[in-house]
Amino acid sequence: MVLQSAYIHVSNDDTLVVTGRMDVEGAVTVDSGSLLVNNGNVNVLSTQKTDPALFSDVAGTGTIGVGTAAGVKITDAIADTQTISC
């Protein structure tokens, strides 16, 4: 779980790999050139509307869940094997 006061920033061509469940209440940014490999469940909860989770490039076979008032911005490619659920 990424709590409201926490911050994850992936940059410099690094990769964030999720194989289980990651609930997001705080800021998460995956910069351009970096990669989120989601083979699990990334759940962006309602606290992200004003400061959306930012994913540049998404690969893997997982699911990105978006809460009712959540915000997610995907700025680059997303694998067709990903599922987005709202």
* Residues 22-80: tens digit of each pLDDT: 998 888 999 999 999 999 999 998 766 677 889 999 999 999 999 887 888 899 989 89
- pTM value? 0.87
Closest CA to 22 of 9, 40, 4: 40
pLDDT value of position 49: 67
Where does residue 30 rank: exposed (0-12), middle (13-18), buried (19+ CB within 10 A)? buried
